[in-house]
Structure 1
Amino acid sequence: MSTQYKFQGWMGLDKDAVNGNMVWQEYEPKPFEDTDVDIKITHCGICGSDIHTLRSGWVPTSYPVCVGHEIVGHAVRVGDKVKDIKVGDRVGVGAQSGACLNQKGDCEACADGMEQHCASVTTTYDSRWPDGSKSYGGYADYWRGSGAFVFKIPDALPSDIAAPMLCGGITVFSPLKRCGAGPGKKVGIVGIGGLGHFGILGAKALGCDEIVAISRTNTKKEDSMKMGATGFIATDEDEDWATKHAGTLDIIISTVSSPKMPIQDYLALLRLKGQFVQVGAPEDNIPGFNIFALIEKRCTIGGSAIGSPDEIKDMLKLYAEKGVRTWNNNVPMKDANKAVVDMEAGKARYRYVLVNEKHLG
C-alpha cells in the first residue's frame, strides 16, 4: 500500500547542523509493517539530546539524521496488529521506538517491564530498525515506527504541552516515581532547565512535602517557586549551602549535563538512606567524590534513562488529572534552525516546541 504523503524533514548532514545548518529534504522511512503506525506530525519538542546528536557530542552520529523525539500528531495509517490505536487518534511517541520485546525477544530488561534498558533498543532517531533501515525523528512532516511505543494523548493535555513530556517529562518522572516520591518525601532537583522544570512539576504532581530547586544562581528562583518549589539553593551564591542544608533531602534528581558539578556537596544534602539519581548526560566524565558520602548514611547513587511504556502511560494520565502544564515556547517548524541555535544558547524557558502549522486544524 503506497501513501499519498512524503516523508521529509530537517536533516543534519554533518556536525555543523547544530549551528543552524539543517537542510529540509526528503528521506526514505522504514518499510511499513502491520505493527507500525504513521503519524502526521503537528508538534515536536526540542530536547537536549537533539543538540548532542546533531554535533556528535556523545558518540559519532550516523548522518544524515533527522532529530526530534517528543512527537505529537494524528495517526494516519495503522497496521493490522496494532492494539488500541486507530486512524485519526491524537498520539505521541518519545525517545524509544522499539525493543526486542516487539520482535518476541526475551531479554531481562523487557521481561521486567524496563524496555527502555533493552540491549536491542531502537531509538526514535539515529538508530536502526531490525531490518537495517534507519530511524528518523520528528523535525518532519510524518513519522513511522512501532505502534508498541505510540501513546494516545489524553484530551486534557494540549499537544504542545504533551510533546515535551514524552522525553523530558518521563526522564524525570520515572526516577521520581521509582524512588518513592510522594507525600512525606523531600525532593531536590538539580538544574532548572528543561528537565529540571519537569522535575519540579512532577514532584508537585506526586504530592511531595518539600521540593527544593538547586541552581548555580538565583536567576530562576522566581520561576521555580511558581512551578511548585518550596525552597531554593543557589550553589554559587549561597554561602555554606551544603552545610546549612545537610541531611535534609530524601531524593535528589540531577538533571544537569555539565560535568562541572559539586557532587560531593550534593550528596551531603541527603538524609539517611537517601537516593541520588543522575538523569542529565554530560559528554565528559563527572568529578569523583569521597565514598564515605554514601557509606555513612547508607545512601545510593544511580542513573536513569527515559521510562517504560507503562510509566509513560501512568505519567500522561496523572499529568492530565493534575493539570500539569509544560512551560514551553512554540516555534514554527520552518524556524527549526533558529530554535536549535537558541536552545543551545540556553534561551529556552523551559522547552521549545516546533509547530507544524500546515498540519493544524
Structure 2
Amino acid sequence: MKKLLPLFALVALSPAYAATPEETAREVLAKSPIIDGHNDTPHQIAELFDRDFSKFNLSALPADVLAKTHTDIRNARAGFLGGQFWSVYVDAALPKHEAVTRTIAQIDVVRQMIARYPENFAYASTAAEVERAMKAGKIASMIGMEGGHSIGDSLEILRQTYALGARYMTITHSLTTDWADSATDAPKHDGLSPFGFDVLAEMNRLGMIADISHVSEATMHDVLDKTTAPVLFTHSNARAITPHPRNVPDSVLKRLPQNGGVVMVTFVPGFTSPERRQWEFERSAVAGRAKTEFSGNPVGEKAAVDAWIAANPQPKATLAQVADHIDHIRKVAGIDHIGIGGDFGGVDELPVGLENVSTYPALFAELVRRGYSKSDLAKIAQGNAIRVMRGVEKAAGK
C-alpha cells in the first residue's frame, strides 16, 4: 500500500501555492540586496538645499522633493537597496580648477550624508567593506566621480580623490576632455590620448574602477585594450535595442567576458525606449529649425517647438523595456556581466513602473517572469558588481 503524502507536502507541491514573481524577487533581494552603480542624490542635495543638511531629512522626503531625488531612506529600504555608488557629479564645462574644487565639495556631501544617518549608511571602500556593511543591515555607501574633468588633468588630483574615497571615475562626462573622447561630443583623440592611457594606468594601480559610461566607442575599446582590471558601465544600456551613443554597442559587449566587466543597466528614458530616443532626436531637429526660422524671436521659437510637442506626445519608457536591455546583454555578454545603475536623481523622468528607489523589486519580478533563475537575479543585484570590485582590488595588489 502506497503512503499518502502529508497535507503540508501536497500544499507545497500544488501550483496554486507556487511563489509569485513578486514573492520570488523579494526573497532573492532580501538575501542579496541591490548594489546600484549610479545615484545623483548628492547633486540634488547641492542643487535643492545648497549642501545644508539642516534643510531636509533624508529619512523621508516630501513628495515634491522625492520627485527630484527619487531617493530617500524609507524608499531605499522598501526597494532592498544594499549598496550605492553615490555619484559625485560636477558640470563638465567648468574650468579645471573649479571642477576640482566642486568635486571635493561633492565628496564632502556624500561623507556628511553617511555621517548624519549612521543607522542606515556605512561608508565602504572595498568589496569586503561592502559585504560587511550589508551584513550589518546598512546601505554600503561608495563614492564615484562622474567625469574625468573632475581631476583637472592631474594625476596628483586623481590620487588625492582616491584618498578622499572615490572608488570609480567615469572617464568622461558629456564633453570630450583633453585626454578622452566623450560619446556626446566631437572626438579629438580617437579614444584616449597618451595622457589618457597614463590616467587609466594610474587608476589600475590605485584600485579605482574605470567607468566607461559616457565615453565614445573608440574610448571604450582603448580602455578595454589596456586596462589590467575589470571595468564598469555604471549607467548605460544596449545600443542594439536603443541606438543612443550613450549605450554600449555589441562590439564592446562581446569583449566583456574576457575583461570581466559589467554593464549596470540604467533607467534613463532616452537610453531605454527606442521610441523615446527617436522622439528626442526629432524634437532636437525641430528645435534647430525653429532657432533658425525665428532668429531673434524667442517667443516664436518656443511656440513652434511647443506646437510640435503638442502634436507629437512624448513616448514613455517602461519597466519592460529596461528588462529588454537586460535580455540583450545576457544574450551577447552573458549573465555575469549585468548589474543595475538606475541614475535616480539624475533625470527628470523615469520609466513607468520605476519611479523611485522603492521599485527595484518590480523589475526583478519582471525578470522572474522572463525565466531568470534566483542565481541569475542575485548576480544582477549584487554578485557581479562585487566581483568587479574584487577584481579591481586584485589587479592593484590590494
TM-score by length of 2: 0.26
Specify the structure having the higher radius of gyration (Cα).
2
Give the structure with the higher percent strand: 1
